[in-house]
Amino acid sequence: MLSNFVVSAIAFLIALGILISIHEYGHFWVARKVGIKVLTYSLGFGRPLWRRTGKIDNTEFVVAAIPLGGYVRMLDEREGTVLAHEKHRAFNNKPLWARTAVVLAGPMANFILAVFAYWLVMMMGISGVAPIVGEVPEGTSAARAGFQVEDKILSINGRSTDTWTDARITLIDEGIDRTEPIPVDVELPNGEIAQRLLDVSAASLLDAEIDAFDVLGLTIWRPEIPAVVGAFTEGSAAEVAGLALGDEIIAANNVPIGNFTELVGMVHPRANQAIDFTVRRDGRALDFTVTPKATEHNGESIGLIGIAPKRPDAEFDRMQVKVKYPPLQALGKAFQRTYDMTTLTLQMLVKLVVGEASLDNISGPISIAQFAGQSASVGIDHYINFLALISLSLAVLNLMPIPMLDGGHLVYFAVEAITGKPVPERIQIWGQQLGIVLLGALMFLAFYNDIGRFMQ
């Protein structure tokens, strides 16, 4: 079986290849449509690994060694000599609307990819966790609003929530800068419908260091798993000690065990320490001594006895949900999800700039690779959903008004539209230098956050 690192690396490279090629193809396609000569279409930077010359305009198609971006190089008098008969095909000689269309085409291609990916996922169906509320701690906003265990969240401020992911996105989107309580419609365990008014004003919904849902008191409901042996791992300490399938562990070191979570809490801290178990088998109480094997997990040694629980399938089926729509309805949902995630991303960026959101929210290639691997491991539906989210993020990032990014060029074009003449070249050079500094700082912060998460 491939290691998590290999899966993450492969999933990350595939995602990068798709996202970069779509973005650059947007620039490339529109440039050709408005009559600009394209010299190079490159996926990646640095040393070329593969290249081919196209039949139209002898455009050079390249795959380069560093996969963290790409570019489309066009004929431009500012970058080299242009023959007299080709001056009309140079980027700098095209009208403002044509240059604007070329620059916008990259981010727009990523928005289109996001809509298509969400549409595909919603037609295929995407699995998720049902938005059923678990334990509600006293004194939290959820407790004050009247939430009870096993309340199923149906909608937040009128927006339907089929999964916990939907509930999280909607609550953050609706809760940012909100001062009045948010109406939340829930289905009670008896089937009745009720409304809770949830106050989110005191919660930091964009703080990366805390889970806003935990602060609000909204935890995921999980069925209680009995401490019954459902399976053994090969050579497990429990099987060697004499435990059998179907045994119910009722005590450990004379401490009563009520469920599998309590059993784990007893075993993990006792690596290589003998534990006296009492089990119920065929109505009889039997005693066994089991010594958990030491295993490295997240940098620490924990004890394992090598058993898996007997899962209550009916309860777990209740936790799971698969959201699926017919094609036309799925397309509407895809546009809605694209809009919701775009506005949420923009809100996050604004909060970061004004200092109202933690800079820890910024992620770099290492975190993105981990997310790619995790989503690919869960299933193709989650991986496509991941692609849609990253494509949206790439589109929004490129539209930021930073020189060197598409948004920076659009700012120059806006000035040109107002003044009637291009921004002076010396100012563009200064802007380019500023853009390099800003992007460098952003990349440093992203890598710093990634390394910090990786070392935890």
pLDDT band at 369 (very low <50, low <70, confident <90, very high): low
Q: Any idea which of 71-80, 164-173, 205-214, 279-288 has the lowest mean pLDDT?
A: 205-214
Mean pLDDT of 85-107: 94
| Tokens read off for 327 | 């094609």
Q: Any idea which of 10-19, 104-113, 204-213 has the lowest mean pLDDT?
A: 204-213
* Whole-number percent of the chain with pLDDT over 70: 87
For the segment 257-294, what is each residue's pLDDT rounded down to a tens digit?
Answer: 988 889 999 999 999 999 999 999 999 999 999 999 98
Mean pLDDT of 433-444: 73
Helix (H, G, I), strand (E, B) or coil at 220: strand
pLDDT band at 153 (very low <50, low <70, confident <90, very high): very high
Helix (H, G, I), strand (E, B) or coil at 160: strand
Kindly state the DSSP code that residue 36 receives in the 8-state scheme. Answer: P
Q: State the distance between the two ends of the chain, measured CA to CA, in whole angstroms.
A: 26
Angle at which helices 164-175 and 327-354 pack, to 10 degrees?
50
Mean pLDDT of 151-162: 91
Higher-pLDDT residue of 114 and 450 is: 114
Taking CA atoms, 27 is separated from 30, 83, 154, in Å, by 6, 23, 42
Count H helices, E strands: the chain? 13, 16
Kindly state the DSSP code that residue 226 receives in the 8-state scheme. Answer: P
Indicate the average pLDDT of the chain. Answer: 85
pLDDT for residue 388 is more than 60: yes
Instruction: Return the closest-CA partner of residue 23 out of 390, 411, 371, 342.
Output: 390
pLDDT band at 23 (very low <50, low <70, confident <90, very high): very high
Instruction: Return the closest-CA partner of residue 307 out of 257, 374, 375, 255.
Output: 257
Predicted local confidence at residue 299, as pLDDT: 65
Q: Are 387 and 422 in contact (CB under 8 A)?
A: no
Predicted local confidence at residue 28, as pLDDT: 96
What sign for the dihedral angle of Cα 42, 104, 170, 322?
A: negative
Architecture of 229-310 per CATH? Roll (2.30)
What is the location of CATH 2.30.42.10 in the chain? Answer: 127-221+312-323, 229-310
Taking CA atoms, 317 is separated from 115, 191, 274, in Å, by 30, 18, 36
Query: Which residues make Cβ contacts (< 8 Å) with residue 317, sequence separation at least 6?
Result: none
Predicted local confidence at residue 1, as pLDDT: 41
pTM, to two decimals = 0.77
Q: Are 86 and 57 in contact (CB under 8 A)?
A: no
What sign for the dihedral angle of Cα 324, 329, 331, 332?
A: negative
| Tokens read off for 385 | 């959903």
Question: Phi, psi (5° rounding) for residue 291?
Answer: -110, 110
Distance of alpha carbon 118 from its chain centroid, rounded? 13
* Whole-number percent of the chain with pLDDT over 90: 44
Question: Looking up tokens 């996105």, which residue turns up?
Answer: 169
* Catalytic (active site) residue 296: no
Instruction: Return the closest-CA partner of residue 8 out of 363, 362, 371.
Output: 371
Class of domain 127-221+312-323: mainly beta
Predicted local confidence at residue 332, as pLDDT: 93
Distance of alpha carbon 86 from its chain centroid, rounded? 45
Taking CA atoms, 394 is separated from 29, 107, 388, in Å, by 19, 7, 10
| Tokens read off for 323 | 């959201």
Distance of alpha carbon 54 from its chain centroid, rounded? 37
pLDDT for residue 188 is more than 90: yes
Predicted local confidence at residue 355, as pLDDT: 64
Q: How many of the other CB atoms lie within 10 Å of CB of 113?
A: 23
Q: Any idea which of 244-253, 309-318, 417-426 has the lowest mean pLDDT?
A: 309-318
For the segment 300-359, what is each residue's pLDDT rounded down to a tens digit?
Answer: 789 999 998 877 666 677 778 888 999 999 999 999 999 988 988 887 777 777 666 555
Instruction: Return the closest-CA partner of residue 259 out of 317, 319, 320, 311.
Output: 311
HSE-up of 124 (CA within 13 Å, CB side)?
15
Element housing 288 (H / E): strand 284-290
Distance CA 413, CA 103 (A): 10
Distance CA 392, CA 395 (A): 5
